[in-house]
Structure 1
């Protein structure tokens, strides 16, 4: 299969069919229609075009007067082509132009389509990359680093211009591949050696004793994930298991568990305890059960249940530890899911804090006296993080003063006040943006 046509099909599926980028990319790779040598370029074209979409549209907007009149493939094709022209130095301009015109000839409904594509791209090549110096900070960062202006403005207000630009810049870079070693099955050192024998070179994670960073090679080409030795997980979310500090025989509730990474990581550290994982959707609850089976973990029960109804299912004060990784805006994982920034807006996110508090209200009574609750999100929005931590405190819980001691040395210095919370920006360690807060219930 032609690599550029494959990337174009995926972009159309994401942008016009509503598919999630990670799922769409993985689905195509699983079909194995691409040559192995083309998989890198394929993923680069898809994620790169999505990440830089705002900049690409800015470049193209004056050259496309009536985009709705074009065949549905033309705008994604032009974006993908302009992305190659300005962001992929190893591909000659003439090759980009030739491939785009050939695809337009093949897919266009009339002969003018290929001529239009040819003309637009030649103009882009002739005029070069635009100058943004006349714009305001928010406008410039939004266009140059391809993030919605409303989001850039919000981040500038919270974090300042320099930090905002750095976050937007790193969000457009490929995310590292990191995996969690199932230490119930194998030691980290042994896993590194086994991976090396398969041509996958790794280094130890700064943030988790169970984590590995893939430096080279394709971990998905091995059987280690399928066989339960490894799970793909970002380093920042591996910190949740440390924050929970589970004991071998605890009774644990993960109230919003799918896809199950934090729940399984916690369960891997248990011996005779039990972990109950909830998710609103039955098919996701089933996926959690499959994860436990893959990892050879006993004591895990997955239920399809809205966390806001947890009080109807479980007795009060019946769990030693509760993980509350609530539904959130996901603005910390833009680097991995670039389509997120284009599918959300302020209005769509406004209702999330209310839902988060409904879940908090439902789950808090289930925690035993002396028990630990860990609240986490994969966003950097204070209204979903610090403000919700304050809400939990208002409900009678206290900060867990021992959180700092449970975290790895690399982040302990970041927990500096009496607040037992940790926020990682995408720029802190190059991980997903993430927030963790730990609380204790009085005995």
Structure 2
């Protein structure tokens, strides 16, 4: 084999650029002219290598350093070349001789004098793959115990930090944590919400899905307002859309659909209610799109306020909804969810008092541990203090502030894309135990107004299947499933 393959050379270039720029891997890949110049197969491999290395570099470095005499003196070019080859050996299952050979060639391109070193390191890594993943070294130490070895093995298989793996196991149990780890290097499925104003969107989507030969799940029997796919029946939701073919259409550009994980669509639909709705933390407006589309589709008469701290994201939200013809009845506000009196001052002035809402959704900033396969930077940038203190403090502050804007009998929803109890159940429990939470009772998400409608019966069943004993909705990523989302629904006593 002569020379490193084009996909691996491009992957190495991007990884080096990421170290210098600190940019997000997906953004760099989307903007890379080098990736676009590759054929489809090589582009796919380059993307998988970059995302995989970014997601697991801590584990990769542990292995590389274990077989290096002077790891602190290794230059960035050599280390990233070794990371690519190690990722292939440990997580992609590339044939060892090919992975080692290509890794050596990558090193040769950048540091010819280090090829012998690279060859020796990669051969030793290839030999220890199974024992590394099984954490045999931890079991042999004995002192850390069998459970510790199981945690280390799980962390290594998912390419995750050990401390984070411990928190995940403590939050969702070992079996569900195994599902999450197994999903880390698998592509996440794509779901969309259809714009009810776009008469051609559903037909175009059917052409995209069927044209891709996507017979694994396919389309089920159409509902009056949507398509039945997979295990849930959520009006307007279409699942397992091939993203490459979707990008090749104008559906996104014309806002005929919005890409949104199924479980995020469930949360957005749960937030609908007759009257006025407030969305705190609307971001770029994905849930805003789902809420307005669902309200129109289901005949729920509501107006809404989409509040977001970032002015740029507010602008993106407004432009997409205007393009989709869904902006009527939506107020777009830039402001801080921790200071609603200031952020909603104009709306309060129009109401000649504090504006209250039938439904308030707090889409809280969080660790994103339910979406790590989509955002590979998360596991190794996240710190224990983030999930122990900083995020929960902010989340509780947002929830407490939002509680004062709910009408008697109205609902307050708290949502994250995390699987960690520190950000989910613990925040909700702290709120309910506080003076602000004393006026609220925890109610099942599946009892939200939209899920009481006949057309949403299948969706309500789906939600119930993922509720805990107190009616809180929690999903966990699986290799063939959607993302991890949490939602708690609280109703203000009259």
**Which TM-score applies when normalising by structure 2?**
0.79
Q: Does the 8 A contact of 1:311 with 1:362 survive in 2?
A: no
| 1:180 Cα offset (Å) | 2.0
Match in the other structure for 1:104: 107
**Number of equivalent positions:** 437
Aligned pairs for 1:158-237 within 5 A: 158-186=171-199, 190-196=203-209, 199=212, 201=214, 203=219, 204-207=229-232, 208-214=234-240, 216=242, 218-237=245-264
CA RMSD across the alignment: 2.9
- Of stretches 419-428 and 34-43 in structure 1, the one that deviates more from structure 2 is 419-428
Greater share of helix residues, 1 or 2?
2
Match in the other structure for 2:400: 361
**Which TM-score applies when normalising by structure 1?**
0.88
**Structure 1 residues 160 and 251, CA gap change in structure 2 (3 angstroms):** closer
Match in the other structure for 1:412: 464
Aligned pairs for 1:2-401 within 5 A: 2-15=6-19, 17-28=21-32, 32-89=36-93, 91-108=94-111, 111-125=112-126, 129-131=130-132, 132-135=135-138, 136-186=149-199, 190-196=203-209, 199=212, 201=214, 203=219, 204-207=229-232, 208-214=234-240, 216=242, 218-247=245-274, 250-271=275-296, 273-299=302-328, 300-314=330-344, 315=348, 316-349=354-387, 350-394=389-433, 395=437, 396-400=439-443
Instruction: Give secondary structure in 2 for the equivalent of 1:369.
Output: strand
Q: Distance in 2 between matches of 1:128 and 1:436?
A: 39
- Of stretches 420-429 and 174-183 in structure 1, the one that deviates more from structure 2 is 420-429
**Structure 1 unaligned regions, length at least 5:** none
**Structure 1 residues 205 and 325, CA gap change in structure 2 (3 angstroms):** farther
| 1:164 Cα offset (Å) | 2.6
Q: Distance in 1 between matches of 2:33 and 2:263?
A: 26
**Structure 1 residues 153 and 16, CA gap change in structure 2 (3 angstroms):** farther
Q: Distance in 2 between matches of 1:158 and 1:126?
A: 34
Q: Distance in 2 between matches of 1:397 and 1:428?
A: 37
Q: Does the 8 A contact of 2:409 with 2:492 survive in 1?
A: yes
Q: Distance in 1 between matches of 2:45 and 2:26?
A: 15
**Structure 1 residues 95 and 422, CA gap change in structure 2 (3 angstroms):** same
**Structure 1 residues 63 and 42, CA gap change in structure 2 (3 angstroms):** same
Q: Does the 8 A contact of 1:183 with 1:268 survive in 2?
A: yes
Aligned pairs for 1:422-437 within 5 A: 422-427=473-478, 430-437=481-488
